[in-house]
């Protein structure tokens, strides 16, 4: 987990090719909150009636979710009839409380310009995006479980309340997708297990669940892992590492669900370069199709060395932060392929 968190703090792919300079902004070592968890320090509970508590929502005037600047979508749907409920990953790295202040404008803007712009945007023009702000737990909660588990409860309660508000006020009978990343995947898994899959109507309207960035095993009899590129009523999960690398404290197990987000198979075979459709960079453009080969093994996706210009400047061992960026167009195109089955 230490290696995962270290790479989580890397802001992905800030590249200035013209000047032949590359910058990787690495967050300083994060401090653990000095105080023990105190519910009274968790701040205001969000009221999801108010649009300010949604980082992305169809009714907001300004949107963080935009398509890549150099990508033209000829079949973009301006009035989709499918929804996606997206739970963003951890971006709360520095602070002296175990949960982020829901009214922290700077942090909320970072959530939009990072997670929504680079991750949730993959669903834009396919589904209406509902993404709540929530009192995300401090990144150190993954180390300090005594305080972290209580912080997780606060964060999850917000996510659950946001979903229930979405369901009661916005869903209107639409089929929907659950999606997240990292901490957002943890909350999404619990939401599925405790709420959605225990409700017949919700379960019947759920199309597919995206749960990348965390080790996910099948957790409910009615939601199997996806095993083919056109399957629905299942979940997709993957964690991305450089070939041959395994963080020492990661669980190694074939029981952890992992799909190859290029071939969308779970057969451990190497994907073909020509199947890879490009990488979404920090300048919000897609470059270098046919640059990644990947295969699954022991619950992770291993990618072979990326052979593109300036590759050495953004080489990583753990590509957790780029679970969406590396495969953005592959995810988008495959979702459309799956939805053809409806």
Q: What is residue 2's predicted lDDT score, i.e. its pLDDT?
A: 43
Extended beta strands in the chain, E state: 14-16, 21-23, 54-56, 82-87, 128-132, 175-180, 206-210, 235-236, 240-242, 279-280, 286-287, 294-297, 300-303
CA distance 283 to 156: 32
Q: Report the percent of the chain where pLDDT is more than 90.
A: 84
* Contact yes or no for 219/185 (Cβ under 8 A): no
Domain interval for residue 64: 2-339
- Helix-then-strand count for the chain, H and E: 7, 13
* Contact yes or no for 226/234 (Cβ under 8 A): yes
- Sign of the torsion formed by the C-alpha atoms of 247, 248, 250 and 251: positive
Kindly tell me if the per-residue pLDDT of 201 is higher than 50: yes
φ, ψ at 87 (rounded to 5°): -115, 115
Extended beta strands in 155-272, E state: 175-180, 206-210, 235-236, 240-242
Which of 333, 323, 278, 324 is CA-nearest to residue 73?
333
Compare 261 and 16 and report the one with higher pLDDT.
Answer: 261
CA distance 156 to 110: 20
Q: What is residue 30's predicted lDDT score, i.e. its pLDDT?
A: 59
- Which residues, listed in sequence order, are joined to residue 7 by a DSSP beta bridge? none
Give the strand pairing for 21-23 and 14-16.
antiparallel
Across 122-134, average pLDDT? 98
Extended beta strands in 171-308, E state: 175-180, 206-210, 235-236, 240-242, 279-280, 286-287, 294-297, 300-303
Say how many domains are in the chain.
1
Q: What is residue 17's predicted lDDT score, i.e. its pLDDT?
A: 27
- The model's pLDDT over 69-80, given as tens digits with 9 standing for 90+, comes to 999 999 999 999
CA distance 127 to 329: 15
- The model's pLDDT over 224-256, given as tens digits with 9 standing for 90+, comes to 999 999 999 999 999 999 999 988 888 778 899
CA–centroid distance for 142 within its chain:
17
> 9: Cβ–Cβ under 8 A, 6 or more apart, which residues?
26, 27, 30, 93, 139
Lowest mean pLDDT segment, chosen from 17-21, 101-105, 129-133, 230-234: 17-21
Which of 131, 147, 137, 163 is CA-nearest to residue 34?
147
Residue with tokens 């009839």: 81
What is the three-class DSSP state of 297? Answer: strand
pTM: 0.91
Mean pLDDT of the chain: 90
Across 159-183, average pLDDT? 98
> 104: Cβ–Cβ under 8 A, 6 or more apart, which residues?
none
Which of 63, 59, 80, 64 is CA-nearest to residue 336?
80
């Amino acid at each position: 987990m230490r290696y995962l968190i270290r790479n989580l703090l890397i802001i992905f792919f800030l590249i200035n090719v013209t000047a032949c300079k590359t910058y990787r902004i690495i967050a300083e070592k994060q401090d653990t909150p000095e105080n023990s968890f105190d519910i009274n320090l968790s701040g205001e509970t969000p009221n999801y009636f108010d649009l300010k508590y949604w980082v992305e929502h169809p009714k907001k005037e300004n949107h963080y979710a935009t398509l890549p600047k150099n990508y033209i979508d000829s079949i973009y749907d301006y009035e989709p009839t499918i929804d996606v409920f997206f739970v963003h990953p951890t971006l709360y790295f520095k602070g002296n409380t175990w949960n982020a202040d829901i009214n922290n404008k700077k942090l909320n803007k970072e959530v939009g310009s990072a997670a929504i712009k680079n991750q949730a945007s993959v669903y834009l023009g396919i589904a209406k995006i509902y993404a709540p702000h929530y009192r995300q737990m401090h990144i150190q909660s993954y180390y300090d479980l005594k305080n972290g588990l209580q912080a997780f409860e606060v964060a999850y309660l917000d996510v659950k309340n946001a979903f229930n508000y979405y369901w009661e006020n916005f869903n209107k009978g639409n089929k929907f997708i659950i999606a997240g990343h990292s901490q957002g995947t943890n909350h999404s898994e619990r939401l599925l297990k405790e709420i959605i899959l225990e409700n017949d109507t919700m379960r019947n309207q759920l199309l597919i669940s995206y749960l990348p960035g965390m080790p996910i095993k099948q957790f409910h009899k009615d939601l199997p892992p996806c095993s083919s590129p056109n399957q629905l009523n299942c979940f997709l999960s993957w964690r991305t590492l450089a070939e041959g690398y395994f963080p020492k404290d990661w669980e190694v197990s074939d029981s952890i669900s992992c799909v190859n987000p290029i071939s969308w198979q779970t057969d451990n075979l190497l994907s073909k370069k020509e199947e890879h459709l490009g990488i979404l960079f920090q300048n919000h453009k897609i470059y270098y199709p046919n640059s990644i080969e990947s295969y699954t093994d022991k619950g992770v996706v291993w990618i072979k060395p990326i052979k593109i210009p300036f590759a050495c400047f953004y080489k990583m061992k753990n590509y957790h932060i780029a679970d969406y960026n590396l495969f953005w167009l592959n995810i988008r195109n495959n979702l459309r392929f799956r939805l053809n089955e409806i």
